[in-house]
């Protein structure tokens, strides 16, 4: 029988705070591919998979949380939503607000979000304000707006967002038949590492469902959570907030993560780690994914892969394990980085005359 993926709320309704009566706002998010990463597996001697979150409706993992946040906003009778963002949250909020028929305002750090993300928010009709400050300043203002003005906050400080994002872990377990040994991902505002850990924990024990009684455990174990931050924006590595975060990976250019405590708990309870990778390592991993695995991600999304490669080089990645890396956003969000070579020069597409011999010559082909 025909079956279409119904979005994360309907697929995992029994494990989310919704009821039959909930009016679900969805664009069909989730159900993203878990791609076997052949070259990373060869490199590490473990079986490595990529959870390709760029395949969500707005091109990032944020849609998993936004379907829940926007559903909650409608349920609360909100007329307008607000968020701070390094770009992906704003793109997602704008799209889901449109689907919900709500107004949307987004606050982004001036000059520090990619063109793709900026264009998404504008295309979906959000009111986009560029704040003369960084993401942390934007979030501070968005929180205050939510407290003192009639707008509903859809950042991941809203627990509905984390509820939606935990479904990423469910999908990994459903695809593999059990939890992986290690789960690797980039860390910025730290909502996603918190959400995955919540999902893995809930799937590994009996679960008290609001609608379906006690559900049995689905997995036999939980993974070690390995988070990676950009070196210039690595508050968890420093052990304190960073006032002037800086990295080319604008998605994770965050100095004062909102989900600090839950991320630290995810790291420590899981026996995991949160470490840093340099911008150069991020761009190398970005290039590795596109040129060796066939998966195009945005730079921030490559931080997890950069971390795994770095840990492997240091002899700190076990062999014979199952490792999942969430690659969080699509390469088309921020395509300029693909048009740069490893030495920093621009890639110039070759122009040729409009005839087959010239094209064959340029390709180095001899006639048959």
For the bound state, the minimum distance from the C-beta of residue 222 to ligand F0G, rounded and expressed in Å, comes to 19
DSSP assignment string, 197-221: HHHHHHHTS-EEETTTEEEPP--S-
CA 21 from chain center: how many Å?
29
Strand order in the sheet with 273-277: 34-36, 47-52, 322-327, 182-186, 224-230, 273-277
Strand order in the sheet with 152-153: 127-131, 103-109, 80-84, 152-153
Is 72 within any annotated ligand binding site? no
For the bound state, the minimum distance from the C-beta of residue 42 to ligand F0G, rounded and expressed in Å, comes to 25
Is 190 within any annotated ligand binding site? yes
Question: Which of residues 78 and 187 has its CB atom nearest to ligand F0G in the complex?
Answer: 187
Question: Which of residues 13 and 153 has its CB atom nearest to ligand F0G in the complex?
Answer: 153
Q: What whole-number distance in Å separates Cα of residue 159 and Cα of residue 51? A: 23
Is 76 within any annotated ligand binding site? no
Binding site for ligand F0G (CB under 6 A): 60, 62, 85-89, 186-192, 251-252, 298, 300-301, 328-329
Question: Which of residues 32 and 86 has its CB atom nearest to ligand F0G in the complex?
Answer: 86
Question: Which of residues 241 and 318 has its CB atom nearest to ligand F0G in the complex?
Answer: 241
For the bound state, the minimum distance from the C-beta of residue 245 to ligand F0G, rounded and expressed in Å, comes to 11
Token output for 303: 């931080």
For the bound state, the minimum distance from the C-beta of residue 165 to ligand F0G, rounded and expressed in Å, comes to 7
Question: Which of residues 190 and 242 has its CB atom nearest to ligand F0G in the complex?
Answer: 190
Question: Which of residues 98 and 301 has its CB atom nearest to ligand F0G in the complex?
Answer: 301
CA 76 from chain center: how many Å?
26
For the bound state, the minimum distance from the C-beta of residue 326 to ligand F0G, rounded and expressed in Å, comes to 8
Is 192 within any annotated ligand binding site? yes
Is 191 within any annotated ligand binding site? yes
For the bound state, the minimum distance from the C-beta of residue 364 to ligand F0G, rounded and expressed in Å, comes to 38
Longest dimension (CA), the chain: 74
Question: Which of residues 18 and 302 has its CB atom nearest to ligand F0G in the complex?
Answer: 302
Query: Locate tokens 């987004």: which residue?
Result: 106
Query: From residue 113, how far is each of 88, 247, 271 by CA, in Å?
Result: 9, 12, 33
Question: Which of residues 47 and 197 has its CB atom nearest to ligand F0G in the complex?
Answer: 197
Token output for 367: 């006639």
Is 54 within any annotated ligand binding site? no
Query: From residue 91, how far is each of 40, 227, 274, 359 by CA, in Å?
Result: 30, 24, 27, 40
Q: Which residues contact 331 (CB under 8 A, 6 or more apart)?
A: 54, 286, 290, 296, 297, 298, 338
For the bound state, the minimum distance from the C-beta of residue 133 to ligand F0G, rounded and expressed in Å, comes to 14
Q: Which residues contact 24 (CB under 8 A, 6 or more apart)?
A: 7, 9, 10, 18, 67, 71
For the bound state, the minimum distance from the C-beta of residue 236 to ligand F0G, rounded and expressed in Å, comes to 10
Token output for 277: 């990778």
368 CB burial (10 A radius; 0-12, 13-18, 19+): exposed
| Residues in binding site | 88, 188-192, 328
| Residues in binding site for pyridoxal 5'-phosphate | 88, 188-192, 328
């Amino acid at each position: 029988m025909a079956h279409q993926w119904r979005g994360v709320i309907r697929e995992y309704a029994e494990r989310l705070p919704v009821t039959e009566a909930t009016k679900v706002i969805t664009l069909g998010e989730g159900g993203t591919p878990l791609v076997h990463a052949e070259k990373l597996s060869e490199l590490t001697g473990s079986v490595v998979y990529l959870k390709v979150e760029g395949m969500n409706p707005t091109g990032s993992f944020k849609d998993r949380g936004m379907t829940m946040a926007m559903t909650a906003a409608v349920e609360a009778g909100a007329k307008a939503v607000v968020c701070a963002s390094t770009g992906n949250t704003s793109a997602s909020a704008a799209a889901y607000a449109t689907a919900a028929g709500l107004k949307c305002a987004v606050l982004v750090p001036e000059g520090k979000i990619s063109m793709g993300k900026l264009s998404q928010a504008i295309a979906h009709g959000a009111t986009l304000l560029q704040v003369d400050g960084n993401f942390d300043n934007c979030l501070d203002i968005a929180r205050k707006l939510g407290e003192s003005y009639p707008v509903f906050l859809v950042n991941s400080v809203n627990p509905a967002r984390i509820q939606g994002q935990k479904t990423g872990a469910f999908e990994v377990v459903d695809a593999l038949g059990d939890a992986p040994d290690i789960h690797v991902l980039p860390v910025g505002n730290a909502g996603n590492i918190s959400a995955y850990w919540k999902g893995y924990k809930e799937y590994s024990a009996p679960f008290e469902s609001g609608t379906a009684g006690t559900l049995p455990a689905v997995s036999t174990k939980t993974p070690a959570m390995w988070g990676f931050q950009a070196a210039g924006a690595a508050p968890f590595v420093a052990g304190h907030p960073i006032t002037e975060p800086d990295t080319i990976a604008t998605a994770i250019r965050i100095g004062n993560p909102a989900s600090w405590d839950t991320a630290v708990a995810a790291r420590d309870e899981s026996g995991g780690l949160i470490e840093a990778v340099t911008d150069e390592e991020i761009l190398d991993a970005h290039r590795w994914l596109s040129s060796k695995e066939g998966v195009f991600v945005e730079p921030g999304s490559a931080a997890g892969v950069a971390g795994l490669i770095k840990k492997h080089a240091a002899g700190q990645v076990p062999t014979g394990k199952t490792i999942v890396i969430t690659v969080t956003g699509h390469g088309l969000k921020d395509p300029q980085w693909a048009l740069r070579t490893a030495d920093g020069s621009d890639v110039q597409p070759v122009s040729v005359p409009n005839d087959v011999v010239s094209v064959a010559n340029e390709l180095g082909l001899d006639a048959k």
